[in-house]
């Protein structure tokens, strides 16, 4: 079981290193979106600080969406997904491996980049720490929930647009609590409540998503 999980994860990592443009695009998108906003809004410090948590979180949300479309579609197209479904290893474990890689490739760079981008919004050091923490808890949720959306829209024409329509509403709780944690800290309130709720969402989505996603994939394969 673990061999299957590790192989599925390693395989996607190797593919990501051969296909650098894909995840670099997502990261570049994140950097650009969060960079353009301060330029458009103007250099007023108090306003920038106020919008910073929301902007950074929305940037993270949209950039993870970019990598989701190809999560299963290339394996579906070349028949690898069929072989995965036929493997004696439960499909949910193989899917979990793919999710972890998606996070490592699309989520983790965003987490690492966020404090740098936070500086241009004049966020204090403590809030930067909270921002990183909230993204660290939140981006895996985006990968886990997003994988379910990718599986449900697999093989549909125009699946990309449908994927966004399906997934973005489900991202709302993560966005509210993630951005809320940073906002609370900026306002001088303890962000612990927000972070705890984010952690609960993380546990819930990481626990159920591989299983539900594997069911959706089996339907897509029929």
Binding positions for other proteins, rule: CB under 8 A: 1, 3-4, 6-8, 10-11, 14-15, 18-19, 74, 77-80, 82-89, 94, 221-222
155: how many CB neighbours lie within 10 A of its CB? 14
CB of 8 to other proteins, least distance (A): 6
193 vs 86: CA distance, rounded Å: 43
CB of 2 to other proteins, least distance (A): 8
Q: Is 188 helix (H, G, I), strand (E, B) or coil?
A: coil
Nearer CB in complex with other proteins: 4/191? 4
**Residue 4 and residue 97 in contact, taking contact as beta carbons nearer than 8 Å:** yes
CB of 197 to other proteins, least distance (A): 36
208-to-96, 105, 164, 184 alpha-carbon distances in Å: 10, 21, 21, 29
Nearer CB in complex with other proteins: 35/87? 87
**Residue 100 and residue 11 in contact, taking contact as beta carbons nearer than 8 Å:** no
Nearer CB in complex with other proteins: 4/118? 4
Nearer CB in complex with other proteins: 94/163? 94
CB of 190 to other proteins, least distance (A): 45
Helix axes 91-102, 45-68, angle to 10 degrees: 140
CB of 35 to other proteins, least distance (A): 31
Is the CA virtual torsion 208, 211, 215, 216 positive or negative?
positive
Nearer CB in complex with other proteins: 87/164? 87
């Amino acid at each position: 079981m673990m061999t299957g999980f590790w192989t599925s994860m390693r395989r996607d990592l190797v593919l990501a290193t051969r296909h650098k443009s894909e995840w670099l695009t997502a990261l570049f998108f994140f950097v650009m979106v969060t960079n353009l906003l301060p330029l458009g809004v103007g250099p007023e410090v108090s306003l920038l600080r106020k919008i910073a948590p929301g902007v950074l979180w929305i940037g993270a949300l949209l950039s993870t969406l970019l990598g989701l479309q190809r999560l299963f579609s290339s394996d579906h197209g070349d028949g690898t997904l069929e072989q995965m479904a036929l493997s004696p290893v439960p499909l949910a474990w193989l899917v979990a491996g793919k999710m972890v890689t998606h996070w490592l490739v699309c989520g983790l760079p965003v987490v690492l980049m966020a404090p740098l981008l936070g500086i241009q919004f004049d966020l204090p050091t403590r809030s930067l720490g909270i921002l990183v923490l909230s993204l660290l808890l939140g981006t895996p949720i985006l990968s886990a929930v997003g994988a379910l959306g990718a599986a449900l829209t697999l093989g549909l024409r125009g699946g990309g647009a449908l994927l966004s329509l399906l997934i973005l509403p489900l991202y709302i709780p993560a966005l509210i609590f993630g951005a809320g944690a940073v906002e609370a800290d900026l306002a001088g309130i303890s962000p612990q409540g927000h972070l705890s709720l984010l952690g609960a969402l993380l546990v819930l989505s990481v626990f159920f998503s591989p299983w539900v996603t594997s069911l959706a994939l089996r339907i897509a394969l029929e």
